[in-house]
Amino acid sequence: MIFTFPHLGNTYIVAKAFLDDFNAQYIIPPFNTNKTLEIGSKYCSEANCLPFKLFVGNMLQASELGADAMLITGGCGPCKLGYFGEMLQKTADDIGINMELITLEVPDQGLKELNARVRKISGNTSFVNVVKVANSAKNVAIKIDNLERLMRIKRAREREKGSVDLIYRAFKNDIMKIKGSKNILEYIKLTENKLNDIKLNENANPLKIAVVGEIYTTIEPYANFELERILGNMGIEVERKVTVSDWIVNDMFRKGLHLPRDSSYVKASKAYLGRMVGGHTQHTIGNSVIHAQEGYDGIIHLYPLGCMPEIVSQAILPAIEEDHQIPIMTIIRDEMTGEAGFVTRLEAFVDLLKKRRGENIDGQSKLLYGY
């Protein structure tokens, strides 16, 4: 088998480490572009969300390069993502390409079925080695998320604009040539050291904006027009609590092993949402409350057109905005969204937040709403 996987931010580095450690053959599909979306949209209905269209585009581009098996994770409660595996398999069959979808989550059939799926990748290696490789991939995911968090902090304070982006571009180029989780972890550490050597403006007091919403749109740079880089280069510190490593640790490992999971966002969301309704709605609501309590200047809520869980979130967020006196802007992304309009909305929101901080507004009547 020649494996591939859809893009989701830097998840390709985690998948690469995982497959390298098993000595498996794989193809990394081209990074998401308008062409990827165009290819995917050709085989999807208008009702399909942006992430699914990009997944189909990734699958077809990888198939052209020789891949015949695609790895994908499961969903989170009643969300379309939970059906992506079956939907992608049907799409592949309808198009007539040779592609087997392998969903890496604990299925209803239990750990025995998951083990059978992993065996397609690992071959006859021992169970102990499978656990070791999975744990190493998890560690790569954690370090990648920590590196991204460090970049967001440094970018908002760098004395020479573009210093972080220069190091990150070199990292993205070099990481493709490095094989195996051990070497990848060492290179992440080297890049972290470079970032820590960047000279900072010690007097900087940047605005702090949190990003919440649907996981794919908030993490994948193509889907959000590189939101974190754009805001960072405006001198804004960006925070995003939903990460790939959090997904792996809590929704794959801990959930599969029936271990306690991080539930701080569930507790924080209780006043507005009594139960899980699918996707990352509880994360969006709970983390918005937490960010407001932590003193963030504003929140940006992102989701793809037609995402039912985040439509629920959007209906609740005005109450949080009013109760906690924090501006929230919602942006809905689809294939018709233009980058220029997207950036203009960001700039306008940032201007509002600067004015709000400058005037030290604390009255409810003066709250600046984001949409």
Give yes or no: residues 325 and 211 share one domain: yes
* Beta bridge pairs of residue 158: 200
Give yes or no: residues 168 and 192 share one domain: yes
**What six digits make up the tokens of 88?**
């992608």
Q: What is the pLDDT of residues 290-321, one digit of tens each?
A: 999 999 999 999 999 989 999 999 999 999 99
- Grade residue 327 by pLDDT with cuts at 50, 70 and 90: very high
- Grade residue 368 by pLDDT with cuts at 50, 70 and 90: low
Domain that holds residue 303: 204-369
Does residue 101 register a pLDDT over 80?
Answer: yes
Give yes or no: residues 312 and 254 share one domain: yes
Give yes or no: residues 80 and 133 share one domain: no
Q: Which CATH number goes with the domain that contains 111? A: 3.40.50
**From CA 164, how far away is CA 153, in angstroms rounded?**
10
Q: Which CATH number goes with the domain that contains 226? A: 3.40.50.11900
Give yes or no: residues 9 and 102 share one domain: yes
Give yes or no: residues 184 and 228 share one domain: no
Give yes or no: residues 33 and 163 share one domain: no
Segment 270-290 shows an average pLDDT of 93
**From CA 317, how far away is CA 322, in angstroms rounded?**
9
| End position of a domain, from candidates 125, 154, 176 | 125
Contact of 320 with 348, CB cutoff 8 Å: no
* Higher local confidence (pLDDT), 38 or 262: 38
| End position of a domain, from candidates 77, 93, 125 | 125
| End position of a domain, from candidates 125, 157, 188 | 125
Q: Which of 58, 29, 21, 33 is nearest to 43 (CA)?
A: 58
**From CA 71, how far away is CA 5, in angstroms rounded?**
5
Segment 10-36 shows an average pLDDT of 96
Q: Which of 105, 132, 158, 133 is nearest to 16 (CA)?
A: 133
Give yes or no: residues 72 and 95 share one domain: yes
Q: What is the pLDDT of residues 137-192, one digit of tens each?
A: 999 999 999 999 999 999 999 999 999 999 999 999 999 999 999 999 999 999 99
| Domains: count for the chain | 3
| Per-residue pLDDT at 32 | 97
Give yes or no: residues 74 and 94 share one domain: yes
Give yes or no: residues 9 and 74 share one domain: yes
Q: Which of 308, 319, 316, 349 is nearest to 331 (CA)?
A: 349
Give yes or no: residues 138 and 89 share one domain: no
| Per-residue pLDDT at 219 | 96
- Grade residue 83 by pLDDT with cuts at 50, 70 and 90: confident
Dihedral (Cα; 104, 58, 312, 239), 10-degree rounding: 90
Give yes or no: residues 77 and 173 share one domain: no
